Each structure stands twice: as structure tokens, then as C-alpha cells.
Structure 1
Amino acid sequence: MSLSHTRPLSAAAVAAAVTIGAALVPAAPAPAAADSPRIHTIQGTTRVSPYAGQEVADVPGIVTAVNRFGSARGFWFQDPEGDDDPRTSEALFVFTAATTPDVRPGDDVRVSGTVTEYSPGSGLQTITQLADARWTVVGSGADIPSAVLLDTDTVPDAYAPDHGGDISGLELKPDTYALDFWEAHEHMLVRVDDAPVVGPTDRFNALWVTTKDDQNRSPRGGTVYGDYADPNSGRLKVESLIPYAERPFPRADVGDVLAGTTQGPLYYSRWGGYQLRATQLGRHVDNELPREVADEHRDWELSVATYNVENLSAADDQEKVDGLARGVAHNLGSPDIVGLEEIQDDNGPVDDGTVDADETLSRFVAAIKDAGGPAYQWRQINPEDGADGGQPGGNIRNVFLFNPDRVAFVDREGGDATTPVEVVEGADGRAALSVSPGRIAPGDEAWRSSRKPLVGEFVFEGRTVFVVTNHFGSKRGDQPMHGLRQPPERTSEVQRNAQAERVREFTDELAAVDPAANVMVIGDLNDFEFSRTLEILTADGGLDNPALELPAGERYNYVFDGNSQMLDHMLLSGAAADRARYRIVRTNSEFHDQVSDHDPQVVRFRPLTGDAKVDRREDRRYYSGAGRP
């Protein structure tokens, strides 16, 4: 890479300056060469520069920011004049790799180099930049161009054109689509004032704000994702260009505010798309978002919870184990049954053939008891080594915890990693499981490299309850919503839909043998309440989703890229669902100091007996509004 430059106040710069008192002030920026393209000409009116791959010389502009960190260092410079075309950006990034450029904000520069379109990943938009750059500083102390204020009305509500393919060659429509607006301001200075935080600070020192105060906001201050057609165009990621020692990055939760001005150049990354790289950070206002606690337990109700514990293993530090344990014992109120997802084997990601998880589970249940919870027992099935996806070596699986003082687990031998559980008719003519615990169709192609559902048969006050805890295939491989293809393809849905079909077949078999069976399908289904995956499980006489009874602004248990969304679910068979008290307990997803990236949920209900007269009498007695007499 060729890098050449001069610092300001050279003899030429001094000659170009005027004296005011004792201060040396630069004159107006020197004119560019007559044949030098302006930045807006290089940027063009589409996502790809008309100069891509070509050399340009002496491109004029004012340095607005410098990236002094990492392997993608460089500086941004912006044309203070512009062409008044809303489609063309007035700024560029000069890429200097691992070399820190010797420029400062306010330097008046002339930059030469190769125009490149850099893609941070497959299917992503490209970053127009100058590489192999050479520059000359012809003055310093110039006025930095004003930042574009991003407020409620600045960014369009519509997210992207419904093009059905690659949008890179389309003419930008920044007044119509958010992605076009962002692209038309690529590298330019932008700012947000009093920005609401909608995604908590992560371990990489980044957070999400919204530029639209009223866009699908939750009561707790987030932005709720409730429809593929409305990805919440006001979301914007914030990272910092300020050295941490000078200005520590705020540890913010959803509902907090960056008060005052947050300002910097607009950049693009594979991790979340467009982002503001802050040269000025607003003051963090902690609005003290509370962690929720489930309402009081009724002893005549069965309580069932689901909790994705994010790759918990015996190799984790005690702080994580204790944090998750407090969530079960305190925030969830010590449910009778807990379906766990993402339990790893005893040595976690060490890939040495270990599949047993007794040490992981022993530590966890001991920590729950220490936190004031019951002495839980567990049931699970060790997977085949490396067959169930997740973190390599972790041998992730689903697990049941249960309180033996409240419920009994029906153990039937024969359940293992490869034996499918079947629905059979019991001696009383009611539905039963062939093995318990068991796995649904573990050899089916739907579960290739994915967690198999764990099914258990429980008894509460003489009433049988079937629980299926799940962790469907992830969204890995889907095209990002900020990528080049619009609308993005969601290829991972194919496997989840097949998984939902296998689970639906199983629950339909239970209902065929016993229409009054108490059935629950719970866990991390890795898809939204409006998705085809959930439709397969709930449509046409299927299971009931109590989350749909919540206001739209409260349907979330996970926060991703500033979108509060619903990935974990608790579904019930119809008659039992009429008795369900459902609660999402918000303890993790909105907080920077989360012990898991998922919020747990709990359902409390009195299981049906299957005797219509008894069940009707109980409906009047227990669910008439007055509670148990």
C-alpha cells in the first residue's frame, strides 16, 4: 500500500493563511484540480460507484473522523459543497488497513487512490471507499460539514424496495426507502439527539437506538418486530471512535437514553448493517429498567416454564450459573416443571467425545436450591456426539427439571438418542408415551444437525400432562434484512417448517388417542409468532398460542439488532389453553448484563381431568374470576 501525506502548516499552507491577531487561520479550502471528480460523482446514484476499479486523483474534501483501531483503519472525508442531489453521498472512507492515518478532523485534503466496493460478507451491501490511497493536507482547522439530523421524520418508514432480487443496480430513492436513505448518506456525518436505546450494550461495545420515537415501541422502551413487512426502519447501531480511556462506552439497557447529541460518520458492517461511528457520544441516562418477577404461585395450578440458558455447561463460571439459578428460583417463582434449552455436556465446547451432562445439571440444580428454589430432579437424553448442532463440542440438548414435591415424572425405559417416542393407548384408554423421556423421530431428516425435541409424561394431582421441549434450527444462513437481496430469502425456514410438521404430527397423535389430553409444546422455536413455523403448529385445530392474547407491543422475549422479537413460545392444547395464565418474565434480553440472551416464560394452569362434568365444574370454581373459594 502506498501512503504519502504532508501535515498542515507547511510553507505552502502558511502562505495560504491569513493572520488574525496572533492566531494563524487557514484560508478557504484550496480548489481541486479541474479534472478531479467530486465525491458525489464517485458515489453516484446507485449502490455501486461508476468509478469502481478506477484510479481517481486529487479528490477534495474535509476530514470528518479518523478510525484509529483495528485492521480497518482509515479516515472519512466529506465535500462541504455538495451537488444538492439527495441520491448522492458527499463523503468517502479512505482505507489504510492497519496503518493509522496522520490526519485530523478539519484537515482540508486532496486524496488520490483506487475506488473500490468492499463487501463485508456474502450477500451484503458494499462500502464505497478509496484504497491504495495518497493524500495531501493543504490546510487545517476548516469547518467540519454539518451532520444530518436523524429525527422521527428523516428516515422513510418503508424499509426496502420489494424487488425480488439484487438491488445494487437500482437508482436510489432515499425519500422512499430506509435502506436507500442510509446508502445515500454513506460515510456522511449524521447525528441523533436524545436517542432512545432499543438494543442493550453488547460485549463488543455497541448498542442500538431508534431515530423514530413512536415506531412500534414497547411499554419498556424497545422497538417490537411484529411483521416481515415492517423491520423498523428507524433502528441504528451505535459504535464509538473515541478511545475507551477518554470516554468509556455506556453500559446501557433498553429504555435508557443517550441524552444530547450522538454524532459521527455513517458506516456499514456485516453485524447489523448501517451504524453511526460516534465521534461524539450523548450522555447515558439510566432509566433503571426493572427486571420482572412472575406473579404469585397458586398451589392448585401447575406451573411450567421454558428457559434458553445459552450454552450452559459445567465449564462456565459460577457467576453465570448463579445468575441463571436466581432467574429460575426468584424471577420465575420456582416452576413445577422447567424445560431447558442449550444445556451442554460436562466440559462444554471441548470436543473430546464427552456427551454426558450430569455435572452441568448437578451444578445448576444445586445453585437453584441455594437461591431458594426446590431440590429439582432432571430428565434428559444424551445426544450422539456431534449430531445435534450448536457450539462444536458442546453437544447441546433439551432437558426437563421438575420439583418432585409437586409433580411426578413417569419413567418408561427405552428412550435414547436414536429411539423414537410413540403415542400409545394406556390401560385406562388414555394416551401414554412408549418411552419417557423420549425424542420425536430422531432419525428424521428434519433433525439433521439439530436438537431433537424431548418429550416427557408428568402427573400433577393425578392428572397427566405431556410436555415437549424444543430447540428448532437456527436462522443461520438466512439473508440479512439489510443485505443486497430484497426481500431477503429465509432459507433456514425450510428445516424449521419440517421440524414443526414432525412435532405437529406427534401432538395430533396424542389428540387422536385422547382429545382431552393436556399437551404443551414449549421452547426456543427460533421463529416468530407470525411465521409459517408457528402456523404449522397452531392452525387448523392445532395448539393455542397464549402470546397472541398479549398486546402487540408486548410480544417479545429476545432482542436482536434493536428489534424486540418473539423466538421462544409456549403452546397448549385447546381446552387447557382456556385456563392458562401466561407470562414472559423479562430478565435478560433488554439488559447489558444478561446471563442469557433469551427471556424465560411461564404458564400456570390447572390440567384437565378429561371428565367433562368435573372440568366444567372446575372452570366455574377456579376460573370464574374469583379464584379458588
Structure 2
Amino acid sequence: MNKQLFTLLPVLFFSGAAVADICDNENEVTPIAQIQGENEQSSLIDQQVTVRGIVTASWQTDEQLSGFFIHSFAQDMDDNPATSEGLFAVTEKHHSSVDIGEQVKLTGKVTERSQLTSLVDISSITTCGDAESLPDITDLKLPVQSLAELEALEGMPIKLSASSANELTISGHYNYPRHGYFDVSSGRLWTPTQIVMPGQDAKRQAEENQLNRLQVDDNSNVVEPSPLPFSNLWHGKQNSLRSGATIANFSGIISQFNNAYRVQPTEDLTLESSSKQPQLPEKANDSVRIASFNVLNFFNGNGSGQGFPTPRGADNTEQMKRQLQKIVAALTALDADIVGLMELENDGFGERSAIFQLVEALEKASGKEYEVAEPRAEKIGTDQITVGIIYQPKRVKPSSHALFTRQGPFSWGSRPPLAQRFIDRNTDSEFSVVVNHFKSKGSCPEDSDSPNSNKNDGQACWNELRLKSSQQLLAWISEESLANPVLLGDFNAYYHEDPIRYFSENNFYNPSNATDYSYVYDSQAGSLDHIFVANSLESKVKGVYHLPFNADEPWVYDYRDETYFSDGPFRSSDHDPLVLDLRFSGSGM
């Protein structure tokens, strides 16, 4: 028969007591364990087989998974723990349905469907009544010992839990708005070089992370689901699915999709504890509050507000207004005396520039006066984005014009750092703030022999350039005799990486801990944003605060989609702001 014509025919469906014996007949039945085998891929790909089993989960509509899962009859199971007893049957445009607990016999072709061993092109389905009991549920605890443990459970029902020392934690949700799934782990996942040293330690940590993560799917093939799924897990001031929250143990089916293992839940998920949203302490009158904030490409128009589209940021005026509203809400909540900003449109310091429009909106919202630290230049460097410093003149005063350098790695790659000398009006103490934005980890050099290529030590590409940026930065600070410098910004390097350790090894104090974070990438938390103070200021540090406004929030809640937009500081950027409080006692230093 013509194959194309055959696929258009309806599935032959048999049911009732008259055909019950069909399921009991072992003739021509291929055991599911034989189809699955011990390897990632079935050895029977493209072969037509007849199988039988008990339906353990069914999501057959086009809006769901277009199929159902079955588990082997007890008499068909083997004694090999490395072979799965579960299988997915793809029914697609079926003319019937099956229910959980039914015994079925079906014929189709074996395939690896996005790495999930499945039966497709099903020509017949026979139901033979309900099973006396459902298959046993396997307890599965994260982390697993090896991915083979998950492969051996593919298509089978499980009860998921975390190790005794942790709880099931939402670790990331990058694909949640588009494909409806998020990642779960035993405790929060950390970027390896955030918590261990680059090299072998980072490689081992990366391997451990791979064994400690599963996708939790919404049992749907719908792209950009609306409304978003898993509303039972929404929480926080923006009522969203935030990473860092913990959930109760739950049952589901292990499946696989595009080189990742996942769970298809068979029960509603329950929130156990919310993602932490600590409050910033009230600013003390005797302290100077300094903040660092990457504003994620704030462009107010293509060159001093001249319209859209722009190279980065908002696509139109309406999006830009929403973006500005969120950034201003975040800055108002920080109420910092000095703010170092990253990813501003590099369009100078005129009245229509991005930084001045931001300050104007901030003054209106906060009722407080802010000024811009301006260098003696039309703009800072030649990149599309730049750094900036704004401050409250009633609290601090500049003792000179702002400075920047384009020496060494700051001529290309890392953005020129901007420095401003300040005097604390309460104590006349002098200090300097230097805002930075080092080269990112992406767009690797084409030459694999380049010193900036990925050395597979956990630090990704351009680590050499970022390290040279740290070295050049301290040399420039020394040349300019910047008193009591405070370094802040997006250094695009994690806590234990070379560029960050260089500061700690050269007379700068890092008041943060390895378990502080400002960014979540690939479901792993870490801090690309840092604040350092010269050792001379270490005793003046009253506190440092990492505020989870953004990194734990799904990206869809930012300014781009009006459907999900809400007022307030949450998801005002993709990086969290950092805040440092310095207390100068007495007059002078």
C-alpha cells in the first residue's frame, strides 16, 4: 500500500470483552524492554512492532502531546534494571482515546522522536479492559548517579524528590514563556565557577549539575502557551513563576526531549516555599549608599532620542516607555546616593540623551534631585552602549570632572570604565567610584588557538581579555591617584574566575559571598556583577545587598509584552542590582 495514502487512513480501534483475548495473546508481541534496550537509542528503529501495555498517562489532543504512555504487562517485564518498561505512543490525528489504567495492544513503527523512544504510524489499537492494578511507581531522587539512570526509566511513572539535604527547587525558566517548561533540581544550581575554582573543579561541578536537573513540562506541544501554565506555582509581588522557589514532591512520567530529560507531571504541582525577595534596609543618614545596575540596553531613540528602531533595546516608543517605567521603579526603590549604570545608549550627555531622559524620569518619580557625572568628552568610547554615573548632589559632591580611559583592552572589547571622585558631605571624606562593563563571554574568537578562545575551564571565551581589563583598570586607578576607590559593575566574570580574584589579590576587598548572585543563565545562578572596595575602606563597609528583582523572574515579564507587563521594579533588567552602604565616621578619612 502507498505509505502516504496509509498515513491518511484512520487508526483501526477495537475494544470490548470480545477482543480481550487479543491482549492476552503473546504471539508477535515485542516486549517494551526489548524495544528500549540498554542504550539511548532503540536497536529497532524503523521496524514495525506490536506491543501491549497498561496506559499510565494520556495526553492525546493536538494541544497536548498527541499520544499516551504505556507500561509493560508484568509477564512481559525483564529482570534488567537498565532497560525501561515504558513507551510513548504517538496517536496524533486519532479517532479514539484511551484512559489511564486500560490495557492496550497496538501496532506501529519504532522511532526516536526528539530522543524519546516512541511508536508512530500506529495502524491499530485494541483496548482490553482495565488492569487489575496500575504499575509500580519508581522513586526517583535528584541528583541521579548517572544519566543512564534516567534513560532506564524513560516512559515510566516516577515519584520525584530531592536529596535529603535539599528540596525540589525551580532552578530556571528560560523556555517557560515559549514552550511551557521549567527546570527543577535538588537545591539551587550554581554556575560552577561561582562556587569552585576554574579547571578540574569547575568541570566536576558542571558534571554534577547535569545529574541534578530535569525539565518539568506542561504536557503540551503548544508554542507560547496562553495563559502561562503552572499557575499554582506563581508567587511574589509580580505573581510569577520565580526560580529559587521550592515545590512539593510529585509524580510524573520520565521522557526525553532534544538531549534533555524531563518529567511529564501526572498531578498538580504545589508550591512549598517562595523565592526569597529580601527587602533593602532603610538608608541610614550616616551612610553613603552606592548601587550598581545593568539596565539592559536602555535606548531612548536612535541617537539622542531621534526615533526607532535602534540597534538595541526597545523596538518602539511604547516599549521604551514601559522599560523606562520599570528601571525608574527599581532605582527609586534603591534610593542610592550614587548609581553606576551599565548598558546605556552611548549617545552623549545632551538633554535628549538616554542618561538624561532617565534622570529626568527618576527625579519626577522619586521627588529627589540627581545629577550626571560628565567627563570632558561628547561621549564615552565608540561602542553602542556605555556606562554612566548618576548621584544625589544633596548627599555627595564631585571633587572633579569624571574620567575614563581607552587604554589597552578598553580600546576594544571591554567598555571604557568611568570614574568620579566624590566627597561625603557629612564627613568630608573623599572616595572614588569606578563603574565597569567588561567583555561578555559570547561571540568567541574564530581562531581556537587564540588566548581568548574557550579553554573549557569554566570561564568561557575572552577570559584573557577580562583579566587584562582588571589589570589595566588598577594600573589606571593608580595613575590617576583615585582616592579610596570603589569598583562596581558588570564584570562578566563569576566569583572564582581570574578577573575577579585579581582584585582580591591586589588590595581590594569583596564584601559579597560565593552564594550571592545577580544573574541566572542556563538555570544556574551566579554573580557577573560585583562591588569591590579598596582595603582602606573595608572597615567602612556597613553592608552589601544583592536584590533579586530580575534574575529569578521569567523574561516575559519585562517591558516587551504589554500582556505581562506590570508596574514595579521586577524584571526591569536581566541582572539584579547590587547595593553597598559605606559609613564614614568623623570628618575626613
Task: Indicate whether 1:399 and 2:385 are aligned.
Answer: no
1:75: Cα distance to partner?
A: 4.4
CA contact (8 A) 2:157 2:251 kept: no
- Percent identity, aligned pairs only? 19
* Match for residue 230 of structure 2 among 239, 245, 249: 249
* Match for residue 605 of structure 1 among 542, 564, 582: 582
- Counterpart of 1:547 in 2: which secondary structure? coil
Q: Which residue of 1 aligns with 2:491?
A: 525
* Counterpart Cα distance in 1 of 2:360 and 2:533: 30
Q: Which residue of 2 aligns with 1:266?
A: 255
Task: Indicate whether 1:41 and 2:34 are aligned.
Answer: yes
1:304: Cα distance to partner?
A: 1.7
* Match for residue 510 of structure 2 among 542, 545, 570: 545
Specify whether residues 196 and 366 from structure 1 end up closer, same or farther in structure 2 by C-alpha distance, changes over 3 A only: farther
* Counterpart Cα distance in 1 of 2:192 and 2:497: 19
**Mapping 1:493-532, distance limit 5 Å:** 493-511=460-478, 514=481, 517-532=483-498
**Mapping 1:416-435, distance limit 5 Å:** none
* Counterpart Cα distance in 1 of 2:551 and 2:169: 13
User: Is the helix fraction higher in 1 or 2?
Assistant: 2
Specify whether residues 398 and 32 from structure 1 end up closer, same or farther in structure 2 by C-alpha distance, changes over 3 A only: farther
* Match for residue 84 of structure 1 among 75, 79, 97: 79
**Mapping 1:537-576, distance limit 5 Å:** 537-539=503-505, 541-548=506-513, 554-576=515-537
* Counterpart Cα distance in 2 of 1:216 and 1:296: 29
* Match for residue 358 of structure 2 among 340, 354, 364: 364
- The amino acid across from 1:191 in the alignment is K
1:473: Cα distance to partner?
A: 0.7
* Match for residue 436 of structure 1 among 403, 406, 409: 403
CA contact (8 A) 1:537 1:543 kept: yes
* Counterpart Cα distance in 1 of 2:227 and 2:80: 37
Specify whether residues 505 and 608 from structure 1 end up closer, same or farther in structure 2 by C-alpha distance, changes over 3 A only: farther
CA distances 1:488-542 after superposition (whole Å, capped 9, x unpaired): 946862303322322322213434674x832233222333212334234433x25
* Counterpart Cα distance in 2 of 1:182 and 1:312: 43
* Counterpart Cα distance in 2 of 1:259 and 1:42: 33
- The amino acid across from 1:587 in the alignment is F
Task: Indicate whether 1:113 and 2:118 are aligned.
Answer: no
1:91: Cα distance to partner?
A: 2.8
- Counterpart of 2:415 in 1: which secondary structure? coil
**Mapping 1:173-322, distance limit 5 Å:** 176-177=145-146, 179-192=147-160, 196-199=168-171, 202-204=176-178, 205-210=180-185, 212=186, 215=187, 226-227=195-196, 228=202, 229-230=204-205, 231-232=208-209, 233-241=211-219, 248-250=229-231, 251=234, 252-254=241-243, 256-259=245-248, 261-269=250-258, 273-284=260-271, 287=273, 291-314=277-300, 315=314, 316=319, 318-322=321-325
* Match for residue 326 of structure 2 among 323, 344, 348: 323
1:100: Cα distance to partner?
A: 7.0
Specify whether residues 345 and 264 from structure 1 end up closer, same or farther in structure 2 by C-alpha distance, changes over 3 A only: farther
* Match for residue 134 of structure 1 among 122, 125, 132: 122
Specify whether residues 300 and 155 from structure 1 end up closer, same or farther in structure 2 by C-alpha distance, changes over 3 A only: closer
1:601: Cα distance to partner?
A: 0.8
* Match for residue 422 of structure 2 among 429, 436, 459: 459
Q: Which residue of 2 aligns with 1:155?
A: 142
1:567: Cα distance to partner?
A: 2.5
CA contact (8 A) 1:475 1:492 kept: no
* Counterpart Cα distance in 2 of 1:16 and 1:88: 30
* Counterpart Cα distance in 2 of 1:29 and 1:355: 78
- Counterpart of 2:195 in 1: which secondary structure? coil
- The amino acid across from 1:544 in the alignment is Y
* Counterpart Cα distance in 1 of 2:367 and 2:511: 26
Task: Indicate whether 1:65 and 2:58 are aligned.
Answer: yes
Q: Which residue of 2 aligns with 1:391?
A: none
- Counterpart of 1:577 in 2: which secondary structure? helix
1:467: Cα distance to partner?
A: 0.4
Specify whether residues 45 and 577 from structure 1 end up closer, same or farther in structure 2 by C-alpha distance, changes over 3 A only: farther
Q: Which residue of 2 aligns with 1:415?
A: none
CA distances 1:168-192 after superposition (whole Å, capped 9, x unpaired): xxxxxxxx32x33223323333333
Specify whether residues 382 and 280 from structure 1 end up closer, same or farther in structure 2 by C-alpha distance, changes over 3 A only: farther
- Counterpart of 2:532 in 1: which secondary structure? strand
1:105: Cα distance to partner?
A: 4.5
CA contact (8 A) 2:10 2:94 kept: no
Q: Which residue of 1 aligns with 2:540?
A: 579
How many residue pairs align between the two structures?
502
- Counterpart of 1:40 in 2: which secondary structure? helix
- Counterpart of 1:303 in 2: which secondary structure? strand
CA distances 1:385-408 after superposition (whole Å, capped 9, x unpaired): 8xx5xxxxxx44333222233334
* Counterpart Cα distance in 2 of 1:409 and 1:99: 71
Specify whether residues 574 and 102 from structure 1 end up closer, same or farther in structure 2 by C-alpha distance, changes over 3 A only: farther
CA contact (8 A) 2:169 2:244 kept: yes
* Counterpart Cα distance in 1 of 2:455 and 2:464: 18
1:442: Cα distance to partner?
A: 5.7
- The amino acid across from 1:328 in the alignment is L
CA contact (8 A) 1:357 1:382 kept: no
CA distances 1:311-352 after superposition (whole Å, capped 9, x unpaired): 33444354443333222222x2x1122122333479xxxxxx
* Counterpart Cα distance in 1 of 2:509 and 2:62: 51
* Counterpart Cα distance in 1 of 2:148 and 2:257: 13
TM-score, normalised to structure 2, is 0.70
CA distances 1:153-181 after superposition (whole Å, capped 9, x unpaired): x3346xxxxxxxxxxxxxxxxxx32x332
1:137: Cα distance to partner?
A: 0.9
> Which consecutive residues of structure 2, in runs of 5 or more, have no partner in the other structure?
197-201, 235-240, 301-313, 446-453, 558-569
- Counterpart of 1:149 in 2: which secondary structure? strand
CA contact (8 A) 2:116 2:257 kept: no
Q: Which runs of 4+ in 1 moved over 6 A?
A: 222-225, 242-247, 354-357
1:139: Cα distance to partner?
A: 0.8
Q: What's the Cα RMSD here?
A: 4.4
1:69: Cα distance to partner?
A: 5.3
